[in-house]
Amino acid sequence: MTLIGKCVRLTPIKMKKPIQKNKKENISRLNHVESFYNYSSLGEIDYYSEYDCEANGCEEEGICRCRKIENAHFEKIHFNKVFEEFYKFYRTQFFINGRESAFFPYCLHRILTNFKVYDPTYWEVAVHGGYYGEEIGNVKPINLEKIKSCLDELFVLNEENYIPFVLKLEYGHILPRLDGSKYSVEEVSFDKIISANEGYRKKVEAGIYANNYPNNLPIGVYEKRGDFYYLIDGYHRYVDLVIGKKKNFKVVVAFKSL
């Protein structure tokens, strides 16, 4: 039957000390997602059902209550929906001085991507008893504790350090030329976006993000040089979302103050 249905501690970056007073209502710690109940919207689950009605007396009662579920697992994950559920849960907890962080949605997406939440093999599917035999229970990412740990670390940082944090998480270091950079979210024209490494860009597999990237989310981190924006993080997104599209794109911009 088919139902349609611990962040590794890295070498610390040189960052300013946390200022918790900037968090909404002086929240001192995050409330966390523990699992998801509405699994049918997150992807497609497959499993086997086994029955032994004779041994369990179902025939005498006239009602089957003996179903056993085996090998319950996700066949497909709707990553945009998973991101939406995480975002709805954490969004207001990352408000700063009563406003939404411009960088938090992008950082959350990168954290979830880093821990392979898009991959159905990185999910646990629980089974529990019901009145009519076993049923699918809650679901959660295998790496949920690592995701929570990363969000805890992000939470205590100043907002200006959010982007360096996720770059460090993904690549293990910060490019020296980004030292001292500030960050903003801007909408830029397609003809101002430059692929800084065409050799690597040509090797990138297309199709990963086609029709599978949240609307209004920045498509990557770009370094501003003069009037142009050079790609730093997001080559797969560049290939799928930018090439051939003559429009404006929302990006995270790294720049140096004058």
**How sure is the predictor about 28, in pLDDT bands with cuts at 50, 70 and 90?**
low
**Same domain? 141 vs 179:** no
Residue 165 maps to a domain: no
pLDDT, the chain, mean:
87
* pLDDT for 26: 54
- pLDDT one-digit tens code per residue, 99-115: 999 999 999 999 999 99
Structural domain total, the chain: 2
Residue 217 maps to a domain: yes
Mean pLDDT computed over 246-252 = 92
* pLDDT for 210: 73
**Same domain? 106 vs 25:** yes
**Same domain? 189 vs 72:** no
**Same domain? 197 vs 122:** no
Tallying the residues shown for the chain, one arrives at 258
Domain that holds residue 221: 175-258
Domain stop point among 159, 192, 216: 159
CA distance 160 to 182: 7
**Same domain? 10 vs 99:** yes
**Same domain? 24 vs 126:** yes
CA distance 13 to 240: 31
**Same domain? 184 vs 249:** yes
* pLDDT for 97: 87
**Same domain? 184 vs 155:** no
CA distance 201 to 33: 36
**Same domain? 182 vs 147:** no
Asked whether residue 9 carries a pLDDT value surpassing 60, the answer given is: no
CA distance 82 to 115: 13
Residue 65's φ and ψ, nearest 5 degrees, are: -130, 20
Mean pLDDT computed over 235-255 = 90
Question: What CATH number is associated with residue 202?
Answer: 3.90.1530
Sheet holding 182-189, edge to edge: 182-189, 248-255, 221-225, 228-233, 193-194
Mean pLDDT computed over 2-8 = 40
Residue 169 maps to a domain: no
Evaluate whether 83 touches 112 at the Cβ level (below 8 Å). yes
**Same domain? 152 vs 195:** no
* pLDDT for 258: 66
Considering Cα of 238, then 239, then 245, then 246, what sign does the dihedral take? positive
pTM for this predicted structure? 0.85
Domain stop point among 94, 129, 159: 159
Residue 89's φ and ψ, nearest 5 degrees, are: -70, -40
* pLDDT for 120: 96
- pLDDT one-digit tens code per residue, 29-65: 899 999 998 888 999 999 999 999 989 999 888 999 9
Closest CA to 221 of 170, 179, 183: 183
**Same domain? 2 vs 117:** yes
Domain stop point among 132, 159, 186: 159
Q: Tell me how far CA of residue 246 lies from CA of 126, 139, 237, 252, in angstroms.
A: 45, 40, 15, 19
How many CB atoms are closer than 10 A to CB 238? Answer: 23
CA distance 144 to 140: 7
**Same domain? 25 vs 115:** yes
Q: Which residue has the higher pLDDT, 49 or 14?
A: 49
Asked whether residue 14 carries a pLDDT value surpassing 50, the answer given is: no
> What is the DSSP pairing of strand 221-225 with strand 228-233?
antiparallel
The set of residues, in sequence order, having a beta carbon less than 8 Å from that of 224 and lying 6+ positions away, is 230, 253, 254, 255
* pLDDT for 209: 84
Burial of 55 (0-12, 13-18, 19+ CB in 10 A): exposed
